[in-house]
Structure 1
Amino acid sequence: MTGSYLLSSQIYLMLPAQASVVAPHSQAQLVAALFGTSGLVAVVGQLRITRWFSARWRPGRSVYIGVALMAASFAPLAAIPNSQRLGTPAAVAALLAAAALLAVASAAVFPFEMHIVVSLSSERLVATHYGFYNTIIGVGILAGNFAIGALLGTEHRLDTDELVWAALILVGLIAATGLYRHDAKINVPGRAVPV
């Protein structure tokens, strides 16, 4: 789950930084549009998204599908090289699409993640489990953002455009795969699953 938190936090870090690359003269307006898009998806769509996922899948499956969607949210940014990004409508659309997809994916993941933490705690010492869980998540986000900063430096030295986006996609795919394997292990046919 650390990977999902690292990815979702990029709405505050890499996406606004990318706004300065895409539209250096109107960065503030583009960042406002990013947060507006993300907020609108959350306010209008949260309950609908949660209900839609609940109607189709159990919590564990909803989480790994949501994390895979988080990984996919960075694909529009990786698809357009920086040389083609400056001020183009396609670059702005890719950035806003990434923000919208990330908001949808976050809305899909986080309600079910809470259910999973409670079930893994066997409904005992839930607050202690949440506290420990959040500590691990915080350390993971810190380390992940340091790594992203280092990748940005490397990206500039190598004059490559998509290194950070590819890394974020990879983090999402690894996290989704780990969550899939965990879900498959606890949902073995014939094995009792805590609810």
Structure 2
Amino acid sequence: MNRAAFAGLSPAAKLLVINQFGINVGFYMLMPFLAAYLSGNLGYGAAVVGLVLGVRNLSQQGMFLLGGTAADRLGCRPMIIVGCALRVVSFGLFAAFTSLPGVFAAAILTGLAGALFNPAVRTYLMHEAGERRAEVFAVFNVFQHAGTLVGPLLGAVLLAVDFRLIALVACAAFAALTVAQLCVLPHRAVEAQRQSVLGSWREVVSNRRFLGFTLSLSAYFALYNQLYLMLPLEAQRVSGAAWSIALVFGVSTVIGVFGQVRITEWCRRRWSSGRSIVLGLLCMGGSFLPVLLAAPALPELLPWEGPAGVVLAFAPVVVSVVLFTVGQAMTNPFAMELLPEIGSERLAGTYYGFYYLVSSLVAAGVSWLAGALLEAFPEPGARWLPWAALLLVGLAGSAGTWVLERRGALGRAPETAVA
């Protein structure tokens, strides 16, 4: 990471990006190992495990809009603190309870915590960033990536002792973050809202260009989820080794940590924010071309055994991950910059919350579609189908953003006057 980029942040922004590193360390320390713990240690069936994970996702995704609205009306700082404090409670429940009601309570509170602090953190950071929003969100992404790398590694070490130790350490990490925010994170004045909660929601859903941007940009989250679904599955299929999944995340994280700020600066010098998103989504969608072309042919291309065959089979996945992460780095900071400008800085939390809610629903649908195509057409010759669907999602998102850019719809919106 460019140290000068971090040094240029305000003290509050520095605390927020370090806070995000801690949040990702605590979260990814526990969540990747939860399914194995529930099924292996506690003996719950696959359906129950899937239900627990689904409830956690639903409690977070379904509450994003409420969390963002609360940030606008009660303040970002209280929502960040309450969200981290809820993570202390929820991860403590994972350590204390093995019964199904206790596990469900922990899962629900974990999701609710994320719904409270995710829009609030981004809204606070948006206000702190001033005119350098894309650059500040680029630094934010670097710390996110670093936390995503450190968390599972630390969790794997602790898992050798006991899963409950992971939960307790994660609980302690969130407790430390909560105290740090209470002591250090500055208060920000809460702008008085000129309309009711329902009125602010009505403003969001009646903002046609924001809805168009949200639908186009939802392709980003739909594709981003494939870093945790389709790409790891393909990596393990072609290599036959569990280490390949770690390599997928490792390649993505290294690019994110060391390349994010440079990629954002490079895009800033050449293109507008909207054009950077157009090309970033195009790159994310196009990243699936190597595996689309290689997947059906791999059984015929690998008559050899040993390292040479594994390297040849794994190369398309690595190329896809590299292109995917570059596209992600091109897209996200500028998307975070434009969302409140297309929407409203006065209701930035509500707009962020609505965007995350819609994107989560679209991402769930696209992930289901990719998985369904993979299961419905298992024969080698049809392995290109899921990747073609993901390519089309990226092209659709890129095309939608391009249309908005051409129509001049990605500039700053005038604030709506409300009687």
Output the amino acid matched with 1:154.
A
- The Cα shift of 1:158 comes to 8.4
Q: What pairs up with 1:104-115 in 2 under 5 angstroms? A: 104-115=326-337
Output the amino acid matched with 1:148.
A
Gaps of 5+ in 1: none
- The Cα shift of 1:100 comes to 1.1
Match in the other structure for 1:59: 273
Partner residue of 1:155 out of 369, 377, 380? 377
In 2, Cα distance between equivalents of 1:64 and 1:16: 26
Check whether the contact 1:71–1:170 (CA below 8 A) recurs between aligned residues.
yes
Check whether the contact 1:70–1:102 (CA below 8 A) recurs between aligned residues.
yes
| Residue 98 (structure 1) aligned with residue 320 (structure 2) | yes
Aligned residue for 1:77, secondary structure, equals helix
| CA shift digits 1:58-97 (9 cap, x unpaired) | 1111001000000111111011124246644232111111
Could you tell me the TM-score, scaled by structure 2's length? 0.43
| CA shift digits 1:126-158 (9 cap, x unpaired) | 001001111001111111111112111222168
Check whether the contact 1:64–1:179 (CA below 8 A) recurs between aligned residues.
yes
- Alpha carbons of 1:185 and 1:85: their partners in 2 closer, same or farther (altered >3 Å)? farther
| Residue 40 (structure 1) aligned with residue 245 (structure 2) | no
Check whether the contact 2:278–2:402 (CA below 8 A) recurs between aligned residues.
yes
Match in the other structure for 2:396: 174
Gaps of 5+ in 2: 1-216, 303-308, 414-419
- Alpha carbons of 1:78 and 1:157: their partners in 2 closer, same or farther (altered >3 Å)? closer
| CA shift digits 1:94-141 (9 cap, x unpaired) | 111111111111111000001110111132200010011110011111
Relative contact order higher in (CA < 8 Å, ≥ 6 apart)? 1
Check whether the contact 1:84–1:91 (CA below 8 A) recurs between aligned residues.
no
Check whether the contact 1:21–1:85 (CA below 8 A) recurs between aligned residues.
no
Partner residue of 1:13 out of 229, 232, 235? 229
Match in the other structure for 1:29: 243
Larger Rg: 2
Match in the other structure for 2:299: 83
| CA shift digits 1:3-51 (9 cap, x unpaired) | 1111121111101100221011x2x211111111000000010000000
Aligned residue for 1:4, secondary structure, equals helix
In 2, Cα distance between equivalents of 1:85 and 1:162: 16
- Alpha carbons of 1:158 and 1:36: their partners in 2 closer, same or farther (altered >3 Å)? closer
- Alpha carbons of 1:115 and 1:161: their partners in 2 closer, same or farther (altered >3 Å)? same
Match in the other structure for 1:3: 219
Check whether the contact 1:155–1:164 (CA below 8 A) recurs between aligned residues.
no
Aligned residue for 1:156, secondary structure, equals coil
Check whether the contact 2:235–2:244 (CA below 8 A) recurs between aligned residues.
yes
Check whether the contact 2:225–2:367 (CA below 8 A) recurs between aligned residues.
no
Q: What pairs up with 1:126-165 in 2 under 5 angstroms? A: 126-156=348-378, 159-165=381-387
Check whether the contact 2:286–2:391 (CA below 8 A) recurs between aligned residues.
yes
In 2, Cα distance between equivalents of 1:85 and 1:99: 21
Aligned residue for 1:186, secondary structure, equals coil
In 1, Cα distance between equivalents of 2:301 and 2:391: 19
In 1, Cα distance between equivalents of 2:349 and 2:280: 24
Aligned residue for 1:89, secondary structure, equals helix
Check whether the contact 2:344–2:351 (CA below 8 A) recurs between aligned residues.
no
Check whether the contact 1:76–1:94 (CA below 8 A) recurs between aligned residues.
yes
- Alpha carbons of 1:163 and 1:58: their partners in 2 closer, same or farther (altered >3 Å)? same
Aligned residues: 189
- Alpha carbons of 1:131 and 1:30: their partners in 2 closer, same or farther (altered >3 Å)? same
How many percent identity over aligned positions? Answer: 34
Output the amino acid matched with 1:15.
L
Output the amino acid matched with 1:172.
G
Could you tell me the TM-score, scaled by structure 1's length? 0.90
